Structure 1
């Protein structure tokens, strides 16, 4: 049975250029912190990779701090900036990834931080007047504002430029989790005005276990790890040269082809949504129809359990998700959909199809062909259990 993989928001297959870049380094030996020839070669690979990522994102090479992935980068931004600034309040949104929400909860419970999670509307758009009001309550006491660039579940793009404008008037640093945005939409660090930005390798066709926090040189960040003082003394630890080489190759490749990738995925997504609507007329589409990621199709099927739909599709060789992969298997409704005003039942009736560089028209058509009988079976099962 052929597998149709439509869960690129969870992870996307590695690009050949990233595989080749890693394979070349696997055959070499050398710690980038060593002073001998092998160490100097490894250091050169790391610094050239840093420059390639910086060029792709329009930041300075010294602003790229390598981490083990997006979760560490988010933790480093949220905790590190908050601790370094020594102020009580943090502003964020109710729809952030748990890599941001959980550190915020920990800071509130263990460190006495005053955390405000701002609401969103039914399309997952940040309530900007609420943000402005929260800043007005005491901007001098806010350590940072963290707002994701693109939502990982429904695909809505936030208006980061407006967040930055509100924060800048009070000198408040802005962090954005741009894990889903890199390579999908234009991301320019310098032009955006943000102070810190998270990205990770496995969402752009690079390897697992590597990411980066792009952070302005002028912004002080307290480290989470202490040791050898690598990465500007912000992130100690032996640097993973092969992973960084693969990461840089993937970032460079995805950003270079972002515009054509966007157009191709947008067309595939529209074909998918239109086809599902014809097959299941009462399907509901979540997210902002005007400002969203090109390959995200978040659909709600009234009278169905998303987990049932997922397993029925999986039996047909079609792989998607019910939301964030980090919450897979957890029997609770999506915090994102609940924040958007969905009921628990509505939130649990959803599927996320996320397309990527390997997605094809045949993949989309396979979903369209399968969805009606799958929904019919899921609804019948729901009726038997008294869910519909």
Structure 2
């Protein structure tokens, strides 16, 4: 049976070149990178540090600003915890559209009376109200605060005006963290010119392995952070103890290099796929409702398209799967319950009655997709619709 994988925002296939690098590392570099007394350990340490240098070069950062983690969720958690404890953060400002790794972690600290939480208002189509953000920052001017807003929403693809947010954070003396997990590796990045104090990334979003990611922490902020997440050991400059995932780090470095070398070609290809998919969807669903700004080519990620299918069916995704189509309703972190609509879609949908009549659909394209995959999806949707 032919199959079409259209869930790349959840995870991407691993490139063959990346697999080769990982296999080579697994086979030949088994030493403990902390055992620098012998050549096996030094070779492993060399792979880690060379990968750190390559990753830093590809996003225009310093190697010392890159901290390896087990992925995006842990990276977000570390940023929040270190900020609260080391930077004396009293207020965290975020939005109701953030990934659960942000929202649930913040609520954990709020429930322990460690920080106060303020949520930025959401405008139509899921746009962050930057005037409201400024009002919150101004009201809390004298307090230590962290703004945590994702660069690109993982469900509806909306892009944040990071320069405006960065300007406001600098003006009102706030730290700026951005969940850039859907962006790093898929967009060109220049950390030196970016407004972030913290940014997080995950390799499996850009054709690398699962279980590995990193945090960017700006050098001037890094100096203020001294508390270890795990108190024993001195791995990752003391930020994250535990023997490093050498083959994962090597694979992530190679995946990022390959993505950076081909950004423009991939971006053009994926934009064309999205344009074609929008056109075909409108033919079979004339009154189609796109969620957020996902149908905008300039205000959303080119690889994400989110819409309402005009039929309520909790088995909708299984029907597609049986026809060889892999898509999702949104974030993979809360998609186990097929009857539950994501917090993002609930938040941006004014007509709550509408949610009882439709099925939310997120399509996410990748570099290995072709128009034939979209044609398969459209044919399958026609069958379900009829």
Fold shared, TM-score > 0.5 on shorter chain: yes
Query: Which whole-Å deviations, capped at 9, do the CAs of 1:241-286 have from their partners, x for residues lacking one?
Result: 1110001100111122112111100110111111011012122112
1:31 and 2:36 matched: no
**CA pair 265-282 structure 1, distance change in 2 beyond 3 A:** same
Residue pair 2:83, 2:89 contacting (<8 A) in 1 also: no
Query: Which whole-Å deviations, capped at 9, do the CAs of 1:93-141 have from their partners, x for residues lacking one?
Result: 1111111111111010124310112122222221100100000111231
Tell me the distance in 2 between the aligned counterparts of 1:313 and 1:34: 50
Number of residue equivalences: 375
Tell me the distance in 1 between the aligned counterparts of 2:196 and 2:374: 36
Q: Which of 298, 303, 323 is residue 306 of structure 2 equivalent to?
A: 298
Q: For residues 59-138 of structure 1, what are the structure 2 equivalents within 5 Å?
A: 59-138=61-140
Q: Which shows bigger deviation, 5-14 or 177-186? A: 177-186
Q: Does the residue aligned with 1:191 lie in a helix, a strand or coil? A: coil
Tell me which residue corresponds to 1:188.
190
Tell me which residue corresponds to 2:342.
334
Q: Which shows bigger deviation, 111-120 or 51-60? A: 111-120
Tell me the distance in 2 between the aligned counterparts of 1:130 and 1:68: 34
Residue 20 of structure 1, CA deviation: 1.1
Residue 344 of structure 1, CA deviation: 4.3
Tell me the distance in 2 between the aligned counterparts of 1:89 and 1:349: 36
Residue 314 of structure 1, CA deviation: 1.0
Structure 2: 5+ residue stretches without partners: none
Residue pair 2:21, 2:254 contacting (<8 A) in 1 also: yes
Q: Which shows bigger deviation, 240-249 or 215-224? A: 215-224
Residue pair 2:155, 2:330 contacting (<8 A) in 1 also: yes
Tell me the distance in 2 between the aligned counterparts of 1:12 and 1:186: 18
**CA pair 242-304 structure 1, distance change in 2 beyond 3 A:** same
Tell me the distance in 1 between the aligned counterparts of 2:331 and 2:353: 17
Structure 1: 5+ residue stretches without partners: 377-388
Residue pair 1:282, 1:301 contacting (<8 A) in 2 also: no
Q: Does the residue aligned with 1:58 lie in a helix, a strand or coil? A: coil
Residue pair 2:138, 2:172 contacting (<8 A) in 1 also: no
Q: TM-score w.r.t. structure 2 length?
A: 0.94
Q: TM-score w.r.t. structure 1 length?
A: 0.93
- What RMSD in Å do the two structures reach over aligned CA positions? 1.4
Tell me the distance in 2 between the aligned counterparts of 1:186 and 1:165: 21
Tell me the distance in 1 between the aligned counterparts of 2:228 and 2:350: 38
Q: Which of 375, 381, 387 is residue 385 of structure 2 equivalent to?
A: 375
